[in-house]
Chains A and B, each alone.
Chain A
Amino acid sequence: MKHVILGAGPAGVIAAENLRKADPSANVVLVGGEDKPPYSRMAIPYVLTGKIEEQGTYLRKTDGHYDDLGIQYIQGRAAKVSPDSGKVTLEDGQALDYDRLLIATGATPITPPVPGLDLEGVHHCWTLDDAEYIAARAQKGSNVVLMGAGFIGCIILESLVERGVNLTVVEAEDRMISKMMDTTGGEMLKTWVEKQGVKLLTSTKVTSVAKDSDALKVSTDKAGDLPADLVVVSVGVRSNIDFLEGSGVQTGTGVMVNDRLETSVKGVYAAGDVAEGPDFGGGFQVHAVQPTSAEHGRIAALNMNGADVKYRGSLIMNVLDTLGLISASFGHWMGEDDMAVKMDHDHHSYTKLAFHGDHIVGALSLGRTDQIGVLRGLIQSRVKLGPWKDKLKKDPSRIAEAYVACTQK
């Protein structure tokens, strides 16, 4: 059996390892797009702050890890998939035969249609190379404009502040991390980052970037022009699916898969940020988060190896540390009409729980780290709350107590 895995992010690597574990004799080929050993984008901000070296981002730390497992690692990018002949063609012309194919090609940052984003000094922060580029330019005292205060924008925000730059964040939405935080939480985050000296312009759009002597000039629709030595673009990502054109593999936002993570083409699977997979709450979604990638990688591998394992669906969840204020979101936090909300502006703490009947379907929290994982447990195990629902409605911060009370009988 020959398995080819396109993409060497967490989903790809975990799938490769699980395939090896399940079948010691299988042929496993892992194709990575960058000139680096498989690494974690999650760790890039910590390279920028200098907390870790590049090696600290590597998904696996042991030298020769892939060789030792007999996983063949190839650098390249897929250009074409031909299911009829069981073949993947890479951009360099190399062709790989497969019996089972896993698409784990992840995503690419979006460049919005704003004039001047092709200029020197304007950059994404997505790869280790990007990080290196930014580190060189984001020096103490330099003017940096961060386009986008979404999740990715926020995880690099701290490292930019720590580097001592004059930071202005321009966000088109009315709040930060709008996909993982509601207006209340977004406002709290805004107050928090502004207290730490970050200039935050929400509901503001960058209209153009232009050269201005040695530096750049960032023009906005509402806040005038901003001088910049560096512009970091993080306005979102899109799944890497272009190479699937003509393959017959159905795509939507990402690669569409069933509950076994198999695509519309038999023998072709997808996992991780590229996969539009089953959502825990029903339906299918792209959930570009680390835990989902890990689960996808494992389940896809089991099915590729011939098992029949259904995925219950991923729970969207995120955790973010914004200059020391930690926010987390789980599931269907926007909720319906049955909610418990507790906020304390002075202490930057906020908890919101969304109920459906007797259980929790989503949650937001700000300013809390202790036992935060129980929110996943409460939601995903559909823990019946009984009398604890009332208690949580009065004081939603008692989630850990609720979880333990309802589960440790």
Chain B
Amino acid sequence: MEKALVLDAGKCTGCEQCEVACSMINEGASNPAKSRIKVFNFHDEGRFVPYTCTQCDDAWCMQACPVDAISVSSDTGAKMVSDALCVGCKVCTIACPFGTVNYNPASGKVIKCDLCGGDPACAKACPTGAITYTDAGATGLAKMEAWAAKTDAGQQANA
């Protein structure tokens, strides 16, 4: 069964170890500004919400890419940006209704979660089990998928 990142806000303490791990793996430096995963801190509610790409089936980013620079990994199902092909036009950054594809001015390319090739650094770094990489269909994913469906920007089947 395909695995997915399951994010459980109820367990998150907001430490940003995930952001550090993500940027270390992907950028070679601890740099949350360039992390593919982001923890939102709702201070007034005492709530922390880790947030990243759900690798949604609709793949708005992939569909919108004008130069075919985003593809689906056959191993993990992750939507992956090819640095060699990305021209930095940023269309995917506005096409993704989740805001999880971001432009990196330093490289002139976009960045997004690619599940680290099947061994996500964020999940390994999370101290509280708020981020796990587990079989798809687990509760968290189902919830996010339900939301993704609601965000359907393109179609509405009649039947």
Assess A/B contact in the complex (Cβ within 8 A).
yes
Number of interface residues of A (CB under 8 A): 55
Question: Size class of B's contact patch?
Answer: 35 or more
Q: Nearest chain A CB to B24's CB is how many angstroms away?
A: 19
If A42-B91, A56-B85, A58-B67 touch, does A371 touch B153 (CB 8 Å cutoff)?
A: no
If A46-B87, A376-B153, A401-B40 touch, does A294 touch B63 (CB 8 Å cutoff)?
A: yes
Interface string of A374-409 (1 = CB under 8 A from B): 111100110000000000000000001101110110
Is the CB–CB distance between B66 and A319 below 8 Å? no
Within 8 A of A (CB), among B76-112: 85, 87-91, 93-103, 105, 108
Q: Roughly how many angstroms separate A38 CA and B100 CA in the complex, as a whole number?
A: 28
Q: Roughly how many angstroms separate A307 CA and B91 CA in the complex, as a whole number?
A: 28
Interface string of B110-151 (1 = CB under 8 A from A): 000000000000000000000000000000000000010011
Total of A-B residue pairs, C-beta within 8 Å: 155
If A43-B87, A43-B89 touch, does A404 touch B51 (CB 8 Å cutoff)?
A: yes
Contacts of B40 in A (CB 8 A): 400-401, 404-405
A60 within 8 A of B: yes
Is the CB–CB distance between A295 and B94 below 8 Å? no
Q: Within the complex, which residue of A40, A312, A375, A377 is in contact with B67, where a contact is CB–CB below 8 Å?
A: A40
Contacts of B96 in A (CB 8 A): 373, 376
Q: Within the complex, which residue of B89, B93, B151 is in contact with A42, where a contact is CB–CB below 8 Å?
A: B89
Contacts of B150 in A (CB 8 A): 381
- Tell me the nearest residue of chain A to B71, going by C-beta: A61
Q: Within the complex, which residue of B38, B103, B158 is in contact with A326, where a contact is CB–CB below 8 Å?
A: B103
Q: Within the complex, which residue of A51, A319, A380 is in contact with B151, where a contact is CB–CB below 8 Å?
A: A380
If A43-B66, A291-B95, A328-B94 touch, does A308 touch B158 (CB 8 Å cutoff)?
A: yes
Contacts of A61 in B (CB 8 A): 67-68, 85
Is the CB–CB distance between B94 and A10 below 8 Å? no
Q: Roughly how many angstroms separate A223 CA and B108 CA in the complex, as a whole number?
A: 36
Is the CB–CB distance between B68 and A299 below 8 Å? no
B74 within 8 A of A: no
- Tell me the nearest residue of chain B to A365, going by C-beta: B94
Is the CB–CB distance between A311 and B100 below 8 Å? no
If A59-B68, A311-B154, A380-B151 touch, does A369 touch B93 (CB 8 Å cutoff)?
A: yes
Interface string of A23-63 (1 = CB under 8 A from B): 00000000000000000111100100001100011111100
If A43-B89, A61-B68, A404-B40 touch, does A295 touch B154 (CB 8 Å cutoff)?
A: yes
Q: Nearest chain A CB to B125's CB is how many angstroms away?
A: 20
Q: Nearest chain A CB to B10's CB is how many angstroms away?
A: 11
A309 within 8 A of B: yes
- Tell me the nearest residue of chain B to A383, going by C-beta: B151
Q: Roughly how many angstroms separate A303 CA and B157 CA in the complex, as a whole number?
A: 11
Q: Nearest chain A CB to B121's CB is how many angstroms away?
A: 20
Is the CB–CB distance between A311 and B151 below 8 Å? no
Most chain B CB neighbours (cut-off 10 Å) among A291, A319, A321, A326:
A291
Q: Nearest chain A CB to B94's CB is how many angstroms away?
A: 5
Contacts of A317 in B (CB 8 A): 94-95
Contacts of A40 in B (CB 8 A): 66-67
A370 within 8 A of B: yes
Contacts of A43 in B (CB 8 A): 66-67, 87, 89
Contacts of A318 in B (CB 8 A): 94
Q: Nearest chain A CB to B117's CB is how many angstroms away?
A: 21
A372 within 8 A of B: yes
Q: Roughly how many angstroms separate A373 CA and B111 CA in the complex, as a whole number?
A: 13
Q: Within the complex, which residue of B66, B101, B105, B153 is in contact with A290, where a contact is CB–CB below 8 Å?
A: B66
If A310-B156, A374-B99 touch, does A321 touch B90 (CB 8 Å cutoff)?
A: yes
B25 within 8 A of A: no
Contacts of A312 in B (CB 8 A): 152-156
Is the CB–CB distance between A369 and B102 below 8 Å? yes
Instruction: Report the 7 A-B pairs with minimum CB-CB distance, sorted nearest first.
Output: A377-B97, A371-B99, A374-B99, A40-B66, A373-B96, A373-B99, A42-B66
Known: A291-B94, A373-B101. 6 other contacts (CB 8 A): A328-B94, A369-B103, A373-B98, A380-B153, A381-B151, A408-B51
Instruction: Show 14 A/B contacts (Cβ-Cβ < 8 Å), sorted by A.
Output: A46-B89, A291-B63, A291-B64, A302-B155, A309-B156, A310-B157, A311-B155, A319-B89, A369-B105, A373-B98, A373-B100, A376-B153, A380-B151, A404-B40
* Interfacial residues, chain B to chain A (CB-CB below 8 A): 9, 38, 40, 42, 49, 51, 60, 63-64, 66-68, 85, 87-91, 93-103, 105, 108, 147, 150-159
